[in-house]
Amino acid sequence: MENLLTANEVARRLAVVPLTVYRLTKRGLLHPRRIGRLLRFEEADVARFLSEESTRGPGKSSDACS
């Protein structure tokens, strides 16, 4: 089974606050699994997100309209 992370664990890996993780989820950039009322994030999805963001470069937003 895939390693599942909490929003706090994802936030630590991304060096952001947990609220940012929820915002990224709402924007469709992170895709959590629901386990009851809880959200869990696959470690591979977080790694993919990090690699995509690092290739985008500084100042490049994945959401140009916000």
Per-residue pLDDT tens digits for 18-56: 999 999 999 999 999 999 999 999 999 999 999 998 887
Minimal CA–CA distance to 19: which of 3, 8, 32?
8
Please state at what angle helix 18-26 crosses helix 7-14, rounded to 10 degrees. Answer: 100
pLDDT at 62 over 90: no
pLDDT of residue 2: 76
pLDDT of residue 58: 62
Question: CB neighbours (10 Å) of residue 21?
Answer: 26
Give bridge partners of residue 22 from the DSSP assignment.
Answer: none
pLDDT of residue 5: 98
- Alpha-helical (H) ranges within the chain are 7-14, 18-26, 43-56
Domain ranges within the chain, ordered by starting residue: 4-54
pLDDT of residue 12: 97
